[in-house]
Structure 1
Amino acid sequence: MNLKTILRMVELIICAVLFIFWYALGTYGYWPMITCGAVLGYLIITAILFVLEFTKFDSTPIYIIIGAVLFLLAGILIFIDLPGSETKARTNALIAAILFLANGAIFLVDFIVVLKGGQSSGD
């Protein structure tokens, strides 16, 4: 397996964990609707990128950079709105924010690999 395929698998796994985490715990912070829609959208985007890795279709780097920006933005928004006194809600928000930021960083690495390699995911 090449580096791009491994990055796509890690992105998809983190997305699935975030979706399950959101579903099981209900909310990350004060942005439940944005977070819910974002997680579901990210799960769909990463699943498509993962499937495109094994097909002949070209995936465009723009989807990867959009995913990176959205994940990083969601993580930053959660950090901004961390609950103050509720320790369980604060812990949940911190875990989610770290996962969002980690997946955004992985998306950025994926983007750099695609640009440096000059290849699409289907090659």
Structure 2
Amino acid sequence: LLRQGLTDNPGHLEGWLALGLALVGHADGFVTPAALQAFGRARVIDPDHPGAEYFLGFAYLQSGEIRAARNVWAGLVERSSTDAPWRAGLEAEVARLDDMIARAPMLQGQ
């Protein structure tokens, strides 16, 4: 259903985000190449929309790639306006991941 909708409307940002999330869910939380492609398409459609990078970071987190999630979200915070309604929550998540990385030596070299 999603793929058909995107075939009919390839510029639908939310459709690409939904497809990426569905693919990650189908792969038991792993960010597959197809999911990365879907998130990448969403970024191309609207590079300023935070959704693609937020969900990409979330997908990395679900698949255990803590440092990758942290880096994606930290970059998103750096590029976002200070009054973005979601910024404070995302800053808190980055701080939580920084703390997790600092406490787990195995994550420091990831």
TM-score normalised by the chain length of structure 2: 0.42
* Structure ranking higher on relative contact order (CA contacts 8 Å, 6+ apart): 1
TM-score by length of 1: 0.39
